[in-house]
Structure 1
Amino acid sequence: MVGKSPLDDPEAAAFAWARYRRIMRFMFLVTLGLVAIAMALLYKFGGEVSVHFYIATALGVGFVMLLASALMGLVFLSSGTGHDESVDNTLPDNRIDED
């Protein structure tokens, strides 16, 4: 039997999603800073490279940072609201009886 999730309560869900959006805004700012640092270091030590290299690097660093922060934010959302504890994680006993 699946227990009731704390995210079923509209007030708790609104608070949890607001916290998730706050985490994502913060991580977006961190990502912008890291992309700027990466671009500065590439410009200083990279030598003569194409503008496409800078674009690909900025998109790669930005995408990886935002994806990782979104997934970790969802883990914090699930764990912090008690949603993880409400899931019934028991499996049936599937042992084969040996005669």
Structure 2
Amino acid sequence: MTRPSRLDDPDYASFAWKRYWRLMRWMFGVTLLVTCAALTTFWWQNGMVSIHFFIATAGAIFGAVMLTAALMGLVFLSSGSGHDEAIEDPFEDEADR
């Protein structure tokens, strides 16, 4: 038997998605600061190596941190909204082996 998810309620869904996007805006700012700090540190220690090095490093740092933030945010959204409990588990009556 499936249980209802709170994301089925339009008011709660709006609240939950706004909270998710607020988290993503904060993480964008933090990621931008961390990326700039890392690039500044690289430049300060090594000078101008290559523009391609700085572009690749910025892309790698920014992409990895934002992807991590997006996926973790979705995990928290799913868990906090009841989506995890709303699934139908055909094996819930069987004991774990």
Q: What's the counterpart of residue 66 of structure 1? A: 66
User: Normalization by structure 1: what TM-score?
Assistant: 0.86
Amino acid at match of 1:59: G
Q: What's the counterpart of residue 14 of structure 2? A: 14
Displacement of 1:93 in angstroms is: 7.7
Q: Secondary structure at the match of 2:82?
A: coil
Alpha-carbon RMSD = 1.7
Runs of 4+ in 1 over 3 A off after TM superposition: none
Q: What's the counterpart of residue 38 of structure 2? A: 38
Gaps of at least 5 residues in structure 1 are: 95-99
Q: Secondary structure at the match of 2:86?
A: coil
Q: What's the counterpart of residue 97 of structure 1? A: none
Which deviations, in whole Å up to 9, do the C-alpha atoms of 1:53-82 show, x marking residues without a partner?
000000110000100000000011011112
Amino acid at match of 1:42: F
| Distance in 1 (alpha carbons) for counterparts of 2:78 and 2:92 | 25
Displacement of 1:84 in angstroms is: 1.2
Amino acid at match of 2:66: L
Q: What's the counterpart of residue 89 of structure 1? A: 89
| Distance in 2 (alpha carbons) for counterparts of 1:58 and 1:81 | 34
Q: What's the counterpart of residue 54 of structure 2? A: 54
Amino acid at match of 1:23: L
User: Normalization by structure 2: what TM-score?
Assistant: 0.88
Q: Could you tell me the percent identity over the aligned residues? A: 50
